[in-house]
Amino acid sequence: MEALLKILTNLHPEVDFETSTDLVDGKIIDSFDIVSIISEINDEYDVVIPAEEIVPDNFNSAQALYELIVRLED
Amino acid sequence: MQRNILEYLEETVRKYPDKTAFANESMRMTFQEVSDASRSIGTCLLKKGYQKEPVVIYMKKHPHMIAAFWGAVYSGCFYVPMDEEMPAFRIDLIFRNLKPRAVICDETTCEQMKEFRDFDGEVLLYDEIAGESADHGLLGAVREAAIDTDPIYIVFTSGSTGVPKGVAACHRSVIDYVENLTEVLQISEKSVLANQAPLYFDACLKELFSSLKCGATTYLTPRSLFMFPVKLVEFLNEYKINTVCWVVSALTMISSTKTFDKIIPKYLRTVAFGSEVFPIRQFRLWKEALPDARFINLYGPTEATGMSCYYEVDRDFEEGEPIPIGRPFKNTEILLLDENNRVPRPGDPGEICIRGTALTLGYYGDHEKTDEVFVQNPLNPYYHERIYRTGDIGMRNERGELVFLSRKDHQIKHMGHRIELGEIEVHVNRLEGVRSACCIYDKEKEKITLFYTGDAQTKELVVSLRKTLPRYMAPNLVYALEEMPLTANGKIDRVKLLNMAQSKKI
């Protein structure tokens, strides 16, 4: 989780990712961020997020994103 | 002889009055409705005394916004589309340059108008003016007196001094562009397009005029879909989209996430792309997914009205090889000029310079900046002939095709947006606690990286920057340094900064 928070904070130092739950719906992250997040997660966790998992629900909070990574790692 | 872009609309509405012109997920406008609304708006503007002046269209992306464009043109004015998500600071900068007397808003943007200190003109609500009855006699008289070199629109592009530049284009140039473009893309009334580009850039003319001239239907794709590839392709399939003209990053977002394993945009037959280099690996994924589609690379600066060159991909390319930008549209010539304003030898690089009908009227209210880049053709000492110096470096390959190589300054293309790194630096340097600032662009990772020195905290700096810069210009990575690396000449060492960014040794 810490590595993920670091990835996110690097993109948006002004956002508190531990509490935000509307990253997509609140227009906090945009399409550029999504592309970056996907590639950084790939580098950090060696996990490829498949296209069908790139949906708002999985990107609205750091927690949801982390759960996705854990699910994909299994 | 056609001399006004509205003749496209008038011809099309005669042929297909009830066909959908512009639509989004929740509403659609037929050509008749677009025509009626724009004539009403044109009449209203005229009756209020607006003519031959900029009318700002400040609305959320919506078919109504497009109808408002043509409304402004009906009145003999020119439209200035504004981004509803643009920071107020930037809008104020634009208002100061433009001094518009009228702004057309929708319900949501109308409230925001109060924030702009530099605007004291009239705010018109779309819903109120689009329903008024049109005065065809009045509109006819304006048309009669109009000439084809009158402006249609002004769109703003990044300026290295921190102030955006407004590029003004006229009917004649747009007509020339539309005729060329629709021929190359083979647009017909059967074309169904999904627009990606924001309506405040000239990139959206491809879809807008495909509809206006040929009776094609244009869907405005919700911006949020460009974050979610499967949903995006589902959108294309739901509306049976057969033509897209998108920036490369929107296309690679789909291919790089392996979306084609799940779903194919099965109706797509024409894929035009531009603004950036298409990585060959990603291009091949598209080609494999859509073996029967035509793929067309488009190239052109806003200053030469939309696009200037095209290349229909007709062969394979090696990885790392650039897809050519091909050859110019009719009535356009590309000159390559070296530092001494001479034509380089075949295969040697030169600055891409454009001559022809497509040249715009230059930067609104800024003769100095206009004269720097719209200059007398140095190869022609005999009569007045302007060329536009793009600042792009290109060459001709052994097949005679034009190939884009690089920029001669610090202008970049990022996610399809044209950005002067200098403009970002001006904004950073304005902030308290910043001693020096430098932006570099890591092309491979597609990241704008900002380095600065001073006491400013990174977090506060990012927050303040977002208040003044449009979203797409916000640096993707920000690093505070003790000292800025300098070259032997005492300039900021951009090469070293780039190396630091790429090796992450900061």
Per residue in B400-420, pLDDT tens? 999 999 888 899 989 888 999
* Residue that the structure tokens 């140095």 belong to: B378
- Per-residue pLDDT at A11: 85
Is B474 at the interface with chain A, CB within 8 A?
no
> Cα-Cα-Cα-Cα dihedral of B281, B282, B288, B293, to 10°?
-130
The pLDDT value given to residue B505 = 61
CA atoms within 13 A on the CB side of A74: 5
Q: Say yes or no: B227 contacts chain A, CB-CB below 8 A.
A: yes
Asked if the Cβ–Cβ distance from B258 to A51 is below 8 Å, we say: yes
8 A C-beta contact, residue B350 and residue B337: yes
Q: What is the mean pLDDT of chain B?
A: 94
Q: Which residue of A has its CA nearest to B479?
A: A10
Q: How far B226 CA lies from chain A's nearest CA (Å)?
A: 6
CB atoms within 10 A of CB B467: 11
Q: How far apart are CA B485 and CA B493, in angstroms?
A: 5
Which domains, and CATH codes, for chain B? Answer: 6-220 (3.40.50.12780), 411-503 (3.30.300.30)
Find chain A residues with C-beta within 8 A of B250's C-beta: 31
Task: Quote the CA–CA distance of A9 and B289 in Å, as a whole number.
Answer: 36
Can you give the residue range of the structural domain that contains A47?
2-73
| Longest distance between any two alpha carbons in chain B, whole Å | 69
Which conformational region is residue A53 in: left (phi greater than 0), alpha (psi within -120 to 50 degrees), or beta? alpha
Instruction: Please list every residue in chain A whose beta carbon sits closer than 8 Å to the beta carbon of residue B258.
Output: 48, 50-51
**Taking CB atoms and an 8 Å cutoff, what residues of chain A touch B228?**
34, 54-56
* pLDDT reported for residue B204: 96
Q: Which residue on chain A is closest to B458 by alpha carbon?
A: A13
pLDDT band (50, 70, 90) for residue B162? confident
Distance between CA atoms of residues B291 and B264, nearest Å: 11
Q: Which residue out of B227, B246, B471, B502 would a mutagenesis test of the A interface target, given it has the greatest number of A Cβ atoms within 10 Å?
A: B227
| B506 contacts chain A (CB < 8 A) | no
A 37-66: CB under 8 A from B: 38, 48-52, 54-56, 59
Å between B233 CA and nearest CA of chain A = 11
Q: Which residues of B touch A10 (CB under 8 A)?
A: 477
Q: What is the ipTM of this complex?
A: 0.88
pLDDT in tens, B315-350: 999 988 899 999 999 999 999 999 999 999 989 999
Residue-wise pLDDT tens digits, A1-48:
899 999 998 888 889 999 999 999 888 898 878 988 998 899 899 999
Residue B275, pLDDT > 80, answer no
Return the pLDDT at B302: 96
pLDDT single digits (tens) B215-245: 999 999 998 999 999 999 999 999 999 999 9
Whole-number pLDDT of residue B416:
84
- CB count in 10 Å sphere of residue B398: 7
State the CATH number of the domain containing residue A50. 1.10.1200.10
Pick the range with the lowest mean pLDDT from B46-60, B348-362, B484-498: B484-498
Q: Distance (Å) from the C-alpha of residue B447 to the closest C-alpha of chain A?
A: 9
Q: Using CA atoms, how far apart are residues A54 and B229, in angstroms rounded to an integer?
A: 7
The total domain count for chain A is 1
